[in-house]
Amino acid sequence: MSHKEIAVDFAGDDQQVAIIRLQRAAKRNALSDGLILGLRDVFQNLPASVRAAVVDGDGPHFCAGLDLSELSERDASQGVLHSRMWHDALQQLQFGAVPVVAALHGAVVGGGLELASACHIRVADSSTFFALPEGSRGIFVGGGGSVRIPRLIGASRMADMMFTGRVYNAEDGERIGLAQYVVPEGQALVKAVELALRIAENAPMTNYALMHALPRIAEQPADQGLMTEALMAAVAQSAPEAKHRLQDFLVGRAAKVSKG
């Protein structure tokens, strides 16, 4: 699972968190075909110890999007296949084995925002800015952005970003739903790892349900969604780990919910 422009480190006593870092800072982590395929391979081959992951970018920017130097000579059918390759890689991330937290800083633009939007939680430090420069480059999104980004911020906000080149800073990005957390500059990775370690403590079937059932339920008509919810709830609560956790609470061994 090694790729020369992707570093994989681990956090946690049992290496339960994988930290996957884009290492192409000289090109602002622009996503070449090789890098996209490398990400797919990393997510397909995470070690069994890993229960949550973090995606991070080396250098001053999280990710400058598609490597524009590779775009020039593609014809229409190659364009379809190229976009489908991105879809395949980011599906692997979104619907893979473990929840993924994005640690964002600097530019999160174009395909970089498509990558971030495939993650389950986004933490932005105060240097982060979000944009979809495809509009001004004469192209369209192709890495799943038109499916995922409207689900975060609505189609009209996404269209505005592409029509007008509107750039959102970290705070406004959090306000509209591009990120769930804003932290001081330089703190995104620390916060993302903290969240991933917390996520890794959950019962695996709860995380599985949140990754695989919740987004599908959200797309279903209410009546079907309620049925899927009932089935998923029954599967989750029948896992031995759920029974232990519920018993721990009932005998006073588990943490209560507190105001935080």
Known catalytic residues? 114, 134
Out of 110, 115, 125, 192, the residue judged to bind ligand 1HE by CB under 6 A: 110
Q: Which of residues 79-98 bind ligand 1HE (CB under 6 A)?
A: 86
Do residues 195 and 184 lie in contact, with contact meaning Cβ atoms separated by under 8 Å?
no
**Least distance to ligand 1HE from the beta carbon of 182, Å?**
20
Q: What angle do CA 134, 161, 26 make, to 5 degrees?
A: 50
Identify any residues that bridge with 56 across adjacent strands, giving them in sequence order. 21
Query: What is d(CA 108, CA 123) in angstroms, rounded to the nearest whole number?
Result: 12
Q: Is residue 67 a contact point for ligand 1HE (CB under 6 A)?
A: yes
Q: Is residue 69 a contact point for ligand 1HE (CB under 6 A)?
A: yes
Query: What is d(CA 241, CA 72) in angstroms, rounded to the nearest whole number?
Result: 52
Cβ nearer to ligand 1HE, comparing 139 with 190? 139
Q: Is residue 30 a contact point for ligand 1HE (CB under 6 A)?
A: yes
**Least distance to ligand 1HE from the beta carbon of 245, Å?**
41
Out of 137, 198, 243, 253, the residue judged to bind ligand 1HE by CB under 6 A: 137
Q: How far is CA 99 from CA 23, 64, 145, 182, 213, in A?
A: 21, 23, 19, 19, 13
Do residues 29 and 59 lie in contact, with contact meaning Cβ atoms separated by under 8 Å?
yes
Query: Which residues bind to ligand 1HE, rule: CB under 6 A?
Result: 27-28, 30, 60-61, 64-69, 86, 107, 109-111, 133-134, 137, 139, 141-143
